[in-house]
Amino acid sequence: MNIGIFSGSFNPIHVGHLMLANYIVEYTEIDEVWFLVSPHNPLKSADELLDEQNRLHMVELALKKYSKLKASDFEFSLPKPSYTINTLAALEEKFPEHEFSLIIGADNWTDFDSWRSYDKILENYKIKVYPRLGERITIPKKMKQMVEALDSPIVEVSSTFIREGIAEGKDMRAFLPEGIFEYIKEKKLYI
């Protein structure tokens, strides 16, 4: 099976994440998208993250009605911080029956050469780059076989925007998958 790896903090997961993943499984050769909840992104401060179990639970809640989208805690058992090359190698070792592709935003593609072992990722895994507002996706000719710029819709909703709205007491329900706003309110998260 072709598996798209969508790794992120998902702090919290929002409708933009679902729209993108659904687009990928419906309009590309990817059979499933696995949402890998990152315990700690090395490019972000750990202080701003909600604990990993709450974030994972929200992803599980959000994806329960989507058969081709899966929540994963795979990175929880890997050394922290989580480096993509290590995660992809560990996934390949544990699931040799699958082919893995990496899903990243145009903003991450712009900085991709600063990632640990980015050249090994490019050599061994296909990369799907989704558009972000204000970001241009340029793929050098020599990389076109491994890197694809997606023509997916641009949904500019951010987890930061949602967290800030919740902290201000705003109803952010429309930006979140079904049941997530209620979970956040019940657990008093992001306030």
- Is residue 181 in a domain? no
- Is residue 30 in a domain? yes
- Is residue 151 in a domain? yes
Q: What pLDDT sits at residue 56?
A: 98
Query: Which residue's entry shows tokens 């798209």?
Result: 4
Q: What is the mean pLDDT of residues 64-82?
A: 94
How many structural domains is the chain composed of? Answer: 1
- CATH number for the domain including 44? 3.40.50.620
Q: What pLDDT sits at residue 156?
A: 87
Q: What rounded mean pLDDT belongs to the chain? A: 94
Range of the domain at 72: 2-155
Q: What's the pLDDT tens digit per position in 140-179?
A: 999 999 999 999 999 889 999 999 999 999 999 999 999 9
Q: What's the pLDDT tens digit per position in 109-124?
A: 999 999 999 999 999 9
CB 36 within 8 A of CB 1: no
Q: What pLDDT sits at residue 46?
A: 58
- Is residue 122 in a domain? yes
